[in-house]
Structure 1
Amino acid sequence: MEIGLVIHGPEVIDSGQAKKIIELLSSKGTVTSMIAGTMGKTAVIDAHMENIIDIRRSLKPSECIEKCIDTKDVIYLLNHGKKLETGIAFARMVISHVKRKDEKPIVHIESPGSSDGVVIPWNKLAHEHAKTIANELGLSIIIASEQEKEILLEKEGERVVRHLTGVQPGEKILVNGIVVGSATSFEVSIIAENGYITQIKGGTMKEHGVEKIHDYENLTPIDLKSAWVKSGRLRSDNFKARTLKTCELGTFSNKENKMQKQGICAVIVDHAAEKVFEIVPGADVAVTVGDDTTILAADILYRLGIPIIGITDGDSDGISHKTHIFPGSTILRLIPDSDDVIGRKILINLFMNKKNMNFASQDELKDMIIKQAVGAIKYIKEY
């Protein structure tokens, strides 16, 4: 039997449940495992499972399922939400985006190893598979059609309302990896008009974050229906970070390109830490713009052995876990409200509005960045 396993998030990796379930499914047939989400990919590396779980694709969970429909006999979706209702709401959203959801059995395993863990068959074909895996894992079965159907998305004309589940007051609210506000209640909704976020009900909106997500004066709209929306911390502290060896880097190192170029290849990561795995193949150093972007990107790039030059001004939203920074990195702390201004100068003047650029050396690039930031630097920290 050909089995597809779609994993979401770092929790099931860090807890060891993903490894247990892969071993269990492997006794039934050939398992192809893939993970969706940047934090999930870092967890896979930390768990030494990058040769078991595919971390090279950059697909949403629904797209992973679609990929499996053509070649797999049964598909499992593995997740661990903050609460049971959060996990169910997540799966319902994922399944709603799968165009051929009834062609192959789709079984959702939610929060295995927890007291509220369940198995959910998401179509008629999945019932027998769900019963078997539920018995083997000691979990109960919930029939999705019998669950209260929460309306998580409302659309009227060009107005979209996205309702969040499992939110706690005080948690940060992220859209596509950028903090756009903070929750003040248990019921939070994000409202967008014509692709632009205009209000957060049950929370306070962070104007600067909303500017970032719409790319400032470029006023780029977003699709709130398909956007990655999350509240709270991105990952717990239940892990030990690991740096891949050169022989383990595979496509992330892009050795062929490195042999052909002179100097170093630098990439710029500007408030897009969730796309780091897509941006960095072949890079020797990354310039990161923004406090949270620097914290998250540095932590991810530690796994790939890539140093950073971080541009920060002390306005971190505190959404990250413990951070690891690869030796050879430099972080510039600037005066308040200046990281975005200096980041744009670096993008225009040094990177020529491109995402990557070659320089003679990392030291040369660092000196050039310091010149762009002159007058705004409070201190520089070397790692």
Structure 2
Amino acid sequence: MRASRAADEIGVVVHGPEVVDSGRAREALDRLERIGSVTAVLGGTMGRVAVIDAALEDRIDISRRETPSRSVQRLMPSVDVVVLLNYAKTAETGLAFGAMVAERAKPHKPLILAEYSGPFASVLAGGAGGIAERIAGALGFPMVAAPQPPGMTASSGRTVTRTIFGAVPGENVSVNGIVIGRAEEERVTISATDGRIVQVLGAEVKEHGLEKIPSVDLEAAILRTGDVRRTEASARRVREPGRDAVLIDHAAEGTFEAARGAGVAVTVGDDTTAIAGEVLARLGIPLVGIVDGDLDMLCPRTVAPKGSYILRVRPGSDDLVGRRVREEVFGGGDRISMEGLDNEDLVDLVKRAAGEDLRSLRRL
């Protein structure tokens, strides 16, 4: 029996590595393709690694780095309904996440959350009618009512406030991949004035982390509590390296984009090195990591690219050494040609920039 016209074109936004690592994303795509034509994209950043490991890049578009709300907006003109696939820590945090995406995307067509932590399906926006029931039935999910958006983002003059729901006390709280504290309550509220974080409620603040974020667009920032990837999978390599060297300085979320055309990467910061290593291992690109032992375990299970080096520097000096490397090795930028150089030459240049702050060098 042919699906009704209203359900013919189904957009799917896959969010986060967990729904992919668990096999649920593959299962959902298989089931939804029985009731309509499916176009699937990744919304978020760290899910890309999971999609590669699961060999799903031919079914889930991972070519863009964009937020889930932006993915929803991009799909809306060409589909009849968008399904947001997610696997949150709890049903409550899943609902809060779905409400946030709907609030930001402002969809003009039906938007349905398929949340595997329940599991359940919920209509986040639009008069979904029978489409929601068909999709929930195909996935084998019960329907639940969506809560009112909890007002996670607020602006007042020059101040922007964001609230994260469902934190587990003791978890890291990060902004764009940089840890700024540890959660003490289930709700963490962050405020920024003129792009500078001025208040963090519900968490013990890590001042050294805040120092690494002199300016941030809080409305667009990636806020997270806990690990960047709670689940595991075997690493799978998908790209041949290039020839350039790139500098990734406390910006691990953008590693896929930064690594285009690169044959080696210099990473600055303990967690940046760990997270970027997860991505670079899939791209076959070794790294030269500058760390000072201040690891927050945002990415506790890491895969080090073969042929990588780790330079441990004086505690608290990774930022300083990173700035010297940018000026002395990369000429003030973040990319240089490796023409006439090999990776050991690059390591020597980084060692020279580290100077007396260097404590040890290890090849992985």
Which residue number corresponds to residue 380 of structure 1?
A: 361
SS at match of 1:142: coil
Which residue number corresponds to residue 110 of structure 2?
A: 105
SS at match of 2:78: coil
Deviates further, 2-11 or 307-316:
2-11
2:288 aligned with 1:309? yes
Letter in 1 for 2:65: S
Deviates further, 65-74 or 308-317:
65-74
Match of 1:282 among 249, 252, 261: 261
Preserved contact between residue 21 and residue 231 of structure 2 (Cα < 8 Å): no
For residues 261-302 of structure 1, what are the alpha-carbon distances to aligned partners after superposition, in whole Å with 9 as ceiling and x for unaligned?
xxx310000000011011111100000000110111111100
> What TM-score comes out, normalization by structure 1 length?
0.89
For residues 194-240 of structure 1, what are the alpha-carbon distances to aligned partners after superposition, in whole Å with 9 as ceiling and x for unaligned?
221112112122122112122xxxxx3x2222321110111124322
**By how many angstroms is 1:245 displaced?**
5.7
**By how many angstroms is 1:30 displaced?**
2.5
Which residue number corresponds to residue 217 of structure 1?
A: none
SS at match of 1:151: coil
**By how many angstroms is 1:149 displaced?**
4.3
Letter in 1 for 2:184: T
RMSD: 1.6
Identity across the alignment (%): 40
Preserved contact between residue 113 and residue 121 of structure 2 (Cα < 8 Å): yes
Stretches of structure 2 lacking an aligned partner (at least 5 in a row): 1-7
Which residue number corresponds to residue 241 of structure 1?
A: 235
Deviates further, 331-340 or 133-142:
133-142
Letter in 2 for 1:161: T
Aligned length in residues: 355
> What TM-score comes out, normalization by structure 2 length?
0.93
Preserved contact between residue 17 and residue 231 of structure 2 (Cα < 8 Å): no
**By how many angstroms is 1:374 displaced?**
2.2
**By how many angstroms is 1:143 displaced?**
2.7
**By how many angstroms is 1:131 displaced?**
0.8
Match of 1:223 among 217, 223, 226: 217
Stretches of structure 1 lacking an aligned partner (at least 5 in a row): 215-219, 247-252, 259-263
**By how many angstroms is 1:32 displaced?**
1.5
Preserved contact between residue 342 and residue 372 of structure 1 (Cα < 8 Å): yes
Match of 1:80 among 87, 92, 102: 87
SS at match of 1:11: helix
Preserved contact between residue 14 and residue 43 of structure 2 (Cα < 8 Å): yes
Q: Rate the CA distance shift 1:30–1:139 in 2: closer, same or farther, 3 A.
A: closer
Structure-1 separation of matches of 2:60 and 2:314: 42
Structure-2 separation of matches of 1:245 and 1:235: 21
Letter in 2 for 1:131: E
Deviates further, 155-164 or 350-359:
155-164
Structure-1 separation of matches of 2:121 and 2:277: 36
Structure-1 separation of matches of 2:45 and 2:357: 32
Structure-2 separation of matches of 1:289 and 1:241: 23
Structure-2 separation of matches of 1:161 and 1:3: 34
